Amino acid sequence: MANHKSSLKRIRQTLTKRLHNRYYAKTARNAVRELRLVSEKEAAAALLPKVTSMLDKLAKKNVIHKNKAANLKSKLTKGVNKL
């Protein structure tokens, strides 16, 4: 266990940020899953911008890698266009 004041603070900060990041990453994963399950074109087209925005925000804050966000957005857009 760390003994320095700064190390203890860093541990607290890291835990808080990790929980925050896990929450938003999980929320985005659930949104992606829901979008993939939608079978109507209109509903999927309405949901796509919201999911895309979520992925962009996560990539901007380095919760997920920017290329992963780009790959997911590309695949989701293709799926919606296929409907």
Residue 39 carries which side chain, given as an amino acid letter? Answer: S
Structural domain spans, the chain: 12-82
Give the separation between CA 62 and CA 68, rounded to whole angstroms.
Answer: 11
What's the pLDDT tens digit per position in 17-72?
Answer: 999 999 999 999 999 999 999 999 999 999 999 999 999 999 999 999 999 999 99
CA distances from 24 to 29, 42, 58, 82 (A): 9, 26, 8, 28
12-82 classified as CATH 1.20.58.110: yes
